[in-house]
Amino acid sequence: MIRIIFNPKSGRAGRNARLAPLLRDFVGSLKGEAELSFTEGPGHATVLAAEAAAQGYERVISVGGDGTLNETAQGLLHHPVALALVPCGSGNGLARHLHLPLNPVAALQLAGNPAAAIRLIDTGLAGGHPFFNVMGLGLDAEVSRRFNRLHRRGFSSYVTTAWQAFRSQRPERCAITDGQRRESLDVLLVTVANSEQWGNEAKIAPGAQVDDGQMDLVAVGPLNLATATGFASRLFLGNVLASSHVRHWRGARFHVERSAPGLIHTDGETHPAGASLDISVVPASLRVLVPSFGSRRTEEKPAFALQL
């Protein structure tokens, strides 16, 4: 059995309104082997996913953005259920990193493809909050806070929001420890990445892998208008780690101390956090459906086919 978890409020409202009929057609094509569930509020996707895992479902399909992915995945941690993604958010960072189809029809075809692989990926924990793509604090969290309040989303809205947040954000002093070294520095933002990118191919941690048992911490120092433009260019060119404004750590555990409590985000969803923050990795804790060419650590798949 397959459970589809659909967040109708993620991404662009117009496109998601057109997704519901497509998802119902998908369910119909599987002739009683799938069901469609709509999320009704924060945390509901986790409940639906956990129910599916407890009831022995073979696959759970998350239809939404990185926030919906995060909630759904939380309900599937350490279970033999495979998570499939139909990415329809604004950034779709993890889906892009895993080379998943961004077209909903193609994504659904992959979800029912018996030749698809199941990749075991790591989970991050930041102050007890799981994340599967990235977490962050400072400007990173402030952009998420502002973006989540918008009624209309998309890449252009994200760029505008990030620029407005950058103009008002001030660096803060942080001490970062990875178990071997400790460094104190002024930072505009700190990102801890499981995948290599925030989304939309903005690669904040080039070379990061979701199944290497490690996380990549990227700290960005103070930027002015000129250096911010160069930093943004480097994100899309894939060489941001070469910037003199960036410090990079790779490890399984980090400790971040800042001057005062503040927001963090995990996969775009914001949470209050203390001045002292522990971040760690849980290796090989989630099974995700991927195209066979994107597989590294794989398992056998349930064999069923889908025709759309």
pLDDT tens string 56-110: 999 999 999 889 999 999 999 999 999 999 998 888 999 999 999 999 999 999 9
Average pLDDT over residues 231-257: 96
Query: pLDDT-derived band of residue 224, with 50, 70 and 90 as boundaries?
Result: very high
- What is the CATH architecture assignment of 129-283? Sandwich (2.60)
Higher pLDDT, 6 or 31: 6
- The first and second tokens of residue 25, run together, are 């057609």
Query: pLDDT-derived band of residue 15, with 50, 70 and 90 as boundaries?
Result: low
What pLDDT digit, counting tens, does each position of 116-145 carry?
Answer: 899 999 999 999 999 999 999 999 999 999
What is the residue-averaged pLDDT of the chain? Answer: 90
Burial 290-308 (b: 16+ CB within 10 A, else e): bbeeebeeeeebeeeebee
- CATH fold of 2-122+286-299 reads Rossmann fold (3.40.50)
Residue with tokens 């929001």: 161
231 pLDDT higher than 90: yes
One-character DSSP codes across 105-151: HHHHHHHT-TT-EEEEEEEEEETTEEESSEEEEEHHHHHHHHHHT-S
| Separation CA 117–CA 27 (nearest Å) | 21
111 pLDDT higher than 80: yes
Give the global pTM: 0.90
308 pLDDT higher than 90: no
Query: pLDDT-derived band of residue 11, with 50, 70 and 90 as boundaries?
Result: low
Return residue ranges of the chain for CATH 2.60.200.40. 129-283
| Separation CA 225–CA 229 (nearest Å) | 6
Return residue ranges of the chain for CATH 3.40.50.10330. 2-122+286-299
